[in-house]
Amino acid sequence: MRNVPAEHRKTFGQVLNDFKQFAEAKYEGSKETTGKETGTVEDLDLSLPGDPVQAGSRHPINLVRKRIIDIFHRLGFAVADGPEIEDDWHNFTSLNLPEHHPARDMQDTFYIAQNPDWLLRTHTSNVQTREMEKGKLPIRIICPGRVYRNETISARAHCFFHQVEGLYIDDAVSFADLKQTLYFFVQELFGASVKIRFRPSYFPFTEPSAEMDISCLICGGGGCRVCKHSGWVEILGCGMIHPKVLHNCGIDAERYTGFAFGMGIERIAMLLYGINDLRLFSENDVRFLRQFTGAS
């Protein structure tokens, strides 16, 4: 009251008084309806049910990534990590990606404007080239992570997605090791009855290269829309590491051989859970995410 100018004191006092009476009336009224003073220990009913806690759910990408890591862990593969902002050498040049390769184009890759030697990695192979450069052999790693490509966003493409790449280098690693490793992997992930087939392919960093298909999970191989009536679904690319790549990363290609593979986590999650639109993974729509409640 002391700080209120003299000419306003009367009105100010009236308003304050009205409010006091209003508050007191409310308090008395609430005492009547509850029948006792509020905020006392007697008021506390410990038998009342608690406020429900909304349990969240794991993201399907995390669920699938964890399953992939667990399977390869049992085969002796360790998880390796690396930068998402990478230099040209570790993302492209060391991997034998030629100068004119379309992946190197501005249309396909995000470059950092201030320094075009830096870019957002287009695959997690950069983790593997860095691991090879450390020079400690043998190497048996998988590299899960986010990768970036300059794509128009649609149900089938996005400007970022998640990958798991794998690398195994030792004395006398063969294509038979590659096949058996990947066969074990898909049997663990999709079930023992899944079939595989390899088709010849091309990657600059592997020779020979292949795409691996699995028998369609939806129709069991009979033919449906998911497998475009072929009975087979492509799930990963793989091959024997190109000697040039080994050499670029300081490994004696006369002594060592190895295999590598790469797969998109979204693609596998779509097959496992019957998801038909890539955009669902990054829209944070709880109606989509809640469907994974309780999955681990």
* Residues in touch with ligand 2NL (CB under 6 A): 125, 128-129, 163, 165, 167, 203, 205-206, 237-239, 241, 245, 260-264
Q: What span, in angstroms and rounded, lies between the C-alpha atoms of 134 and 143?
A: 16
Smallest separation (angstroms) from ligand 2NL to the CB of 265: 9
**CB of 263: closest distance to ligand 2NL in angstroms?**
5
Could you give the CA distance from residue 262 to residue 173 in angstroms, rounded to a whole number? 18
3-state SS, residue 179: helix
Strands (E), the chain: 78-79, 85-87, 118-120, 139-148, 160-171, 196-203, 206-215, 232-241, 256-264
Please name the residue that has the structure tokens 């890591």: 69
Residues forming beta bridges with residue 288, ordered by sequence position: none
Q: Which CB sits closer to ligand 2NL, 83 or 264?
A: 264
Nearer to ligand 2NL by Cβ, of 163 and 215: the residue is 163
CA distances from 95 to 99, 125, 175 (A): 11, 8, 19
Q: With contact defined as beta carbons under 8 Å apart, do 243 and 253 qualify?
A: yes
State in angstroms the smallest separation of the CB of 251 from ligand 2NL: 10
Pick between residue 4 and residue 85 the one whose CB is nearest to ligand 2NL.
Answer: 85
What is the DSSP code (8-state) at residue 206?
A: E
Q: Provide the minimum distance between the beta carbon of 104 and ligand 2NL in the complex, in angstroms, as a whole number.
A: 16
Report in angstroms how near the CB of residue 165 gets to ligand 2NL at its nearest.
5
Query: Partners of 216 in the beta sheet?
Result: none
Instruction: Please identify, using beta-carbon distances, which residue of 63 and 236 lies nearer to ligand 2NL.
Output: 236
Q: Which is nearer to ligand 2NL, 34 or 154 (CB)?
A: 154
- CB 143 → ligand 2NL: shortest distance, Å? 9
CB 173 within 8 A of CB 261: no
Min. distance of Cβ 163 from ligand 2NL in angstroms? Answer: 6
Q: Which is nearer to ligand 2NL, 206 or 215 (CB)?
A: 206
Q: Which residue is nearest to ligand 2NL (CB)?
A: 262
**Which pairing describes strands 78-79 and 139-148: parallel, antiparallel, or unpaired?**
parallel
CB of 161 to ligand 2NL, least distance (A): 9
Stated length of the chain? 296
Whether the Cβ atoms of residue 78 and residue 139 lie closer than 8 Å to each other: no
Q: What are phi and psi of 142, to 5 degrees?
A: -120, 150
User: Whose Cβ is closer to ligand 2NL: residue 94's or residue 215's?
Assistant: 94
Q: How many other CB atoms are found less than 10 A from the CB of residue 154?
A: 10
Residue closer to ligand 2NL (CB basis): 18 or 81? 81
